[in-house]
Chains A and B, each alone.
Chain A
Amino acid sequence: MPVVTIGPAEVHVDAEGFLTQYGEWTEELAAQLAAQIGIELTDAHWKAISFLRADYPQRGETATLRRVSTLAGIPIKQLFVLFPGKPAKKMAYVAGLPKPRGCV
């Protein structure tokens, strides 16, 4: 598992750059991860990321778009605006969680 330096922090990531240790994530790190994929975090972004962070320990897996939409009350359409292209993957990346299973 490679270790990379992002800003001041050294963190463990997988081959695609997703953090592998839940506890290594910080809010400052999130801002830097977001910047790497061209996103500047606003309150609307934080609402989604906070939900993902809170949901993960309960479920043991990264929430799907539909779960974020239903439980955090953010329309899927808006998630596509906030995290353009591949919102599920981008949200997980910024929230320091595994890439969503997408499914099985």
Chain B
Amino acid sequence: MKRLVILGAGTAGMMVANKLRRRLPLREWQITVVDRDDVHLYQPGLLFVPFGVYRPAQLTRSRRRLLRSGIQFLTGEIERIDPVAKTVRLGDGTAVGYDYLVVATGTSPRPDQTPGMLGAEWRKSIFDFYSYEGSVALADALRDFTGGRLVVHIVDQPIKCPVAPLEFTFLAEAYFRSRGMRDQVEIVYATPLSGAFTKPIASARLGDMLDERKIAVEADFLVERIDSERKMLVSYDEREIEFDLLVTVPLNMGADFIARSGLGDELNYVPVDKHTFQSTAYPDIFVLGDAADLPISKAGSVAHFAAEIFTGNFCQYVEGHPMTGSFDGHANCFVESGDGKGLLIDFNYDTEPLPGSFPLPVVGPLGLLRENARNHWGKLAFRWIYWHVLLPGRRLPVPTHLSMTGKKQPDKEI
């Protein structure tokens, strides 16, 4: 029996496990998935919890039950990988041997990495929404907010779902308007980037949308610490931003066992070939999803397109054939903009998000870098697709590689 071990049963690990279960014969392969618990969280839903759109119970399912039959599921903390002995050591001492290893343990918000964040104001006036507990606590805080300065803040890049802080900002603005209290709330968006987003055309469009909504942007703001007594963000270049309510995206880091195993970079991401996800250090280790150091957004859509490429490649690799699939960095994200509308962005390693329509020219039905209600409904419908198409490893009728169909390239050198 050949042994495939998959660490992590989040979006990437779940898709890879279920896809490979169908491709690899049961009598020849033992597939084992390891995660610390049995609760799979629909992370895209966390954005909506603070605004009361989803009840938390709608966002979780049993990992074990989401995995196809024939896959072994173990729960336990991962202590370390020994890539030479090809063994994964768990916290309780269990050793799990592998022939091939998939690391899909993602990235996590780390509020402990910014001095003062976890002080007396944590979850009183300082919140995150990338965790289940954080988004639930923030719902109460928003409901009870009577006015003042809301600061939405990103500690540093890269973060998973890099559009989510903008979406949160748009939704918060619409939320306060709908409650008739927009005049009592000042909204500031503080980012380490030089503008609203990372890529120029999308950054300009999203920046205009912040302007239209009277949201101030504090750019190039790299936080050094939070002074929780004075309720102040303090940057390395000694700028200060006062807040009444702070919604922050803590530093994101890969899992600590990656560092203990000597496999990670300075943020515990594993260096890989950006077209095949193969570890640059150990050829029998592949890294899928947010855990890899790919130069593209950390996002579920990336994990999805990556998993499509990877499963074909993996079947070639284990037969001793060259891997013919090559990932182009394709990402595709809905961006909620408030008032029941949204945008869609579609991009890859070489092509930044462009305006246009998706997947077809003119008729769309989805608009690229344009607000419309169909994008919003697309985003909400995605939850069903996630549980019933993506995680079971079924194919979604969307091209795996980026297509220029429907996209418009504005004149360069604006």
Q: Which residue of B lies closest to A68 (CB)?
A: B266
Query: A79 vs B224: C-alpha distance in the bound complex, in angstroms?
Result: 12
The residues in A between 53 and 94 inclusive whose CB is less than 8 angstroms from any CB of B are 59, 61, 64-67, 70-71, 76-77, 79-80, 84-86
Give a binary string over A16-40; 1 marks a CB under 8 Å from any B CB, 0 the rest: 0000000000000000000000000
Is the CB–CB distance between A103 and B237 below 8 Å?
Answer: no
Number of interface residues of B (CB under 8 A): 22
A102 contacts chain B at the CB level, 8 A cutoff: yes
Query: Given contacts A103-B162, A104-B198, A104-B295, are A76 and B236 in contact (CB under 8 A)?
Result: yes
Q: Which residue of A lies closest to B352 (CB)?
A: A104
Is the CB–CB distance between A77 and B236 below 8 Å?
Answer: yes
A47 contacts chain B at the CB level, 8 A cutoff: no
Is the CB–CB distance between B266 and A76 below 8 Å?
Answer: no
Q: How far is the CB of B109 from chain A (nearest CB, A)?
A: 15
CB < 8 Å: which of B193, B236, B413 contacts A102? B193
Is the CB–CB distance between A67 and B266 below 8 Å?
Answer: yes
Chain A residues lying within 8 Å of B162, measured Cβ to Cβ, are 103-104
Chain A residues lying within 8 Å of B38, measured Cβ to Cβ, are none
Is the CB–CB distance between B220 and A104 below 8 Å?
Answer: no
Is the CB–CB distance between B236 and A80 below 8 Å?
Answer: yes
Is the CB–CB distance between A66 and B193 below 8 Å?
Answer: no
Is the CB–CB distance between B266 and A70 below 8 Å?
Answer: yes
The residues in B between 263 and 303 inclusive whose CB is less than 8 angstroms from any CB of A are 265-267, 271, 295-297
CB < 8 Å: which of B156, B158, B220, B267 contacts A86? B220
Chain A residues lying within 8 Å of B267, measured Cβ to Cβ, are 66
Query: A76 vs B265: C-alpha distance in the bound complex, in angstroms?
Result: 17
Number of interface residues of A (CB under 8 A): 20
Is the CB–CB distance between B157 and A103 below 8 Å?
Answer: yes
Is the CB–CB distance between B198 and A76 below 8 Å?
Answer: no
Give the secondary structure class of B's interface. loop
Is the CB–CB distance between B295 and A101 below 8 Å?
Answer: yes
Chain B residues lying within 8 Å of A67, measured Cβ to Cβ, are 265-266
Chain A residues lying within 8 Å of B266, measured Cβ to Cβ, are 66-67, 70-71
Query: A101 vs B237: C-alpha distance in the bound complex, in angstroms?
Result: 21
Is the CB–CB distance between B156 and A66 below 8 Å?
Answer: yes
Query: A71 vs B267: C-alpha distance in the bound complex, in angstroms?
Result: 11
Q: How far is the CB of A59 from chain B (nearest CB, A)?
A: 8
Q: Which residue of A lies closest to B329 (CB)?
A: A104
Q: Which residue of A lies closest to B220 (CB)?
A: A86
Query: A71 vs B193: C-alpha distance in the bound complex, in angstroms?
Result: 22
Query: Given contacts A66-B266, A67-B265, A80-B237, are A102 and B224 in contact (CB under 8 A)?
Result: no
Chain A residues lying within 8 Å of B171, measured Cβ to Cβ, are none
Q: Which residue, of B162, B193, B222, has the highest number of chain A Cβ atoms within 10 A?
A: B222
Is the CB–CB distance between B158 and A103 below 8 Å?
Answer: yes
Chain B residues lying within 8 Å of A59, measured Cβ to Cβ, are 271
Q: How far is the CB of B36 from chain A (nearest CB, A)?
A: 26
Is the CB–CB distance between B193 and A103 below 8 Å?
Answer: yes
CB < 8 Å: which of A15, A71, A104 contacts B297? A104
A contact residues vs B (CB 8 Å cutoff): 15, 59, 61, 64-67, 70-71, 76-77, 79-80, 84-86, 101-104
